[in-house]
Chain A
Amino acid sequence: MTIQIDRNIFDDAAISKTIYWLSGDFSFQRRLEGEIESITITPKPGSEMSDLDIELAFLDKLNDNKLRGIIANETKDIRTILYAKAFADDDYLSEEDLNE
């Protein structure tokens, strides 16, 4: 089966992470034409999921990965700051570093 994904809505990272988690049970072929990515999904031997179930599983994961990606992007600086505050030697960190 083939799923069409609008790359204006879902970026490469969200799609790649979704494929990563499903690649134990399925093989994937990706083709990008303009803004639309076509993803052909082939079940590996032993899979008993229907096409509809596969599509739903893919889209659910895709949506979640998009949200995770947004959170990770939005919080990457504060995450670095908090980790630095927790673990870096205080001598190497000034208030400006933390407030930058």
Chain B
Amino acid sequence: MNYHLLPFTFTRISNHEVLVNELGDMIISPFGTVYKLVNREPVDEELFKSLAANFFVSDTAIPVLSDIYALRLREKKRFLDQFTALHIFVLTLRCNQNCVYCQASSCNEDCTSVTMTMHTMKKAVELMFKSPSPYLTMEFQGGEPSLEPKLLRYGIELAEEINKAEQKNINYVLCTNCVDLTDEVMDICKQYKVMISSSLDGPAYLHNTNRGKKDSYEKVVAGFERARSILGHDQVSALMTTSELALDYPIEIVDEYRRLGFRSIFLRALNPYGLATTNPDWTDYTDRFIEFYKTALNYIIDLNIQGTFFIEEYAAIILKKMITPYTTGFVDLQSPAGIINSVLVYNYDGYVYASDESRMLAEFNDYTFRLGHVDEPYENIVYGKAAKNAAKYWSNEALAGCTDCGVRTYCGADPVRNHSTQNDLYGYRPASLLCRKNKAIIEYIISLIIERYDEVMPIFKSWLL
């Protein structure tokens, strides 16, 4: 047979060869297909038509539809055109909870000198508007940012003022534990349509144990109710973090989210920052998390089969990359990486970091991803030495291990995680627990598509509407 191959790689899942091209198109084929293609041996006619239609093979050296290919490739990297959309403002490290596994290196509510000044806020907001992105998300984090209502209001009002001329589309998000949402904070949220993003780890015993508190769960749930009643049901979302204890309760956690009226959950692993580094055995944790994830995902799929619409957000992000022509705004699964390209962090002390994780490293005196200071010009920050250094390692298209990986287009690059866990921005994939987790989850989702296509595909598609 006479045809040309187009770029693709492959992997083996559920007794099939899974071929994935640069556009993220996936072809599931019998064992031996790649060998036949490489050696130009005949393959099944329908399969060949599918390979040709999806840019795996071409009759001509340059495909007739190369313009379409280029457009689709560009669309997959659309986030690069717009540059940084997510701007995280760490208002303070003060916190009224100080949970056991805290990933944000918070300190006591009475701490001084750990809160952003008005000057830093002004400079940070001005820097945010230097981003060419027409969409901006201004996310307030801590510590507990609701402890600083005046700073919160000042930041938002300044952004609103500047935006009269800039005319960008701005979203505001307050990441709060919801424990003490005062009238003052609620007024700001209502006035400026600030979304509430909170944390809930699952049922009361789990949430309270994770946080080393007796009544955190009750306070958080009361906070949800209050925020929903003032701002509207959909203005409140919650994130869970899978502590070691949580690994034993996948079903209970999903049920708790449903019980509280959420229509989705993001099953999120602990990351090795902040106090969470004290976790003893990360390999064991990662393997257990993968099993936890599979159990919870299967349970969620069963719920959907029985008629309850409920989304697992991490799977939905991967599926969007897999079965639509579009990119996602999710910074952890991007190549080039989400750092700087999609997110910047303005820390309480005026320093600017490449990501949330980058600033957490700085709390442990590691300043590798400190890009500069809010008083510096924008260009010095986003095109400076630290940014350029990170850029050498941020494309998984060019990293050993990733280049040939069959699921590369659904995964991402993360030099910050490589650095923090392996002391090497480049990273060593065979020992990378992030790689292990991502690969296992992506391959599991593909295995579901292979083995239970008719059952799961309508559900997966419904999650992307």
Contacts and interface: CB of A to CB of B under 8 A. Distances in A.
B10 A75 contact: no
Contacts of A21: 401, 429-430
Nearest to A80: B7
A78 B8 CA distance: 11
Interface stretch (B44-52, B70-78, B173-181, B294-302): B70-78
B69 interface: yes
B7 A87 contact: no
Interface stretch (A2-10, A28-36, A66-74): A66-74
A79 B69 CA distance: 11
Given A20-B401, A78-B4, A79-B22, A85 B66 contact: yes
B73 A71 contact: no
A44 to B, nearest CB: 11
Interface string B67-110: 10111011001000000000000000000000000000000000
A74 B58 CA distance: 13
A71 B69 contact: no
Interface in A35-88: 64-65, 67-68, 70-72, 74-76, 78-79, 81-83, 85-87
B160 interface: no
A27 interface: no
A17 B38 CA distance: 19
Contacts of A64: 10, 12
Contacts of B111: none
A72 B398 CA distance: 13
A99 interface: yes
Contact of A81 (B35, B38, B62): B62
Contact of B77 (A20, A25, A70, A87): A87
Given A78-B62, A81-B62, A86-B70, A71 B430 contact: no
Nearest to A63: B35
Candidate in B10, B69, B430 with the most chain A CB atoms within 10 angstroms: B430
Contacts of B69: 82, 85-86
B62 A22 contact: no
B400 interface: yes
A34 B4 CA distance: 34
B9 interface: yes
Contacts of A81: 62, 66
B6 A75 contact: yes
A49 B403 CA distance: 27
Contacts of A86: 69-71, 73-74, 77
B5 interface: yes
Interface residues of B, number: 30
A87 B34 contact: no
A92 to B, nearest CB: 14
B249 to A, nearest CB: 29
Contacts of B67: 85
A82 B397 CA distance: 14
Nearest to B23: A82
Interface string B346-372: 000000000000000000000000000
**Band of interface residues on A:** 20 to 34
Contacts of A78: 4, 6-7, 61-63
Which of A17, A25, A68 has the most B CB atoms < 10 Å from its CB? A68
Given A75-B6, A82-B22, A24 B430 contact: yes
Given A21-B401, A67-B35, A75 B7 contact: yes
Given A71-B7, A86-B73, A24 B404 contact: no
Contacts of A71: 5, 7-9, 34, 38
Contacts of A72: 7, 9, 403-404
B430 A98 contact: no
Contact of A75 (B5, B12, B77, B431): B5
Contacts of B431: 24
Nearest to A75: B7
A17 B62 contact: no
Contacts of A76: 7
Contacts of B6: 75, 78, 82
A81 B67 CA distance: 11
B9 A82 contact: no
- Candidate in A70, A79, A82 with the most chain B CB atoms within 10 angstroms: A82
Contacts of B9: 68, 71-72
Contacts of A74: 4-5, 38
A10 B404 CA distance: 17
A85 B68 CA distance: 10
Contacts of A87: 73-74, 77
- Which 5 A-B pairs rank lowest in CB-CB distance, beginning with the nearest? A24-B430, A85-B70, A86-B73, A86-B70, A75-B7
27 contacts: A20-B429, A21-B429, A22-B430, A25-B430, A64-B12, A67-B10, A67-B35, A67-B38, A68-B9, A71-B5, A71-B38, A72-B9, A72-B403, A72-B404, A74-B5, A75-B6, A75-B7, A75-B8, A78-B7, A78-B62, A81-B62, A85-B70, A86-B73, A86-B74, A87-B73, A98-B66, A99-B62
Interface of A: 17, 20-25, 64-65, 67-68, 70-72, 74-76, 78-79, 81-83, 85-87, 98-99
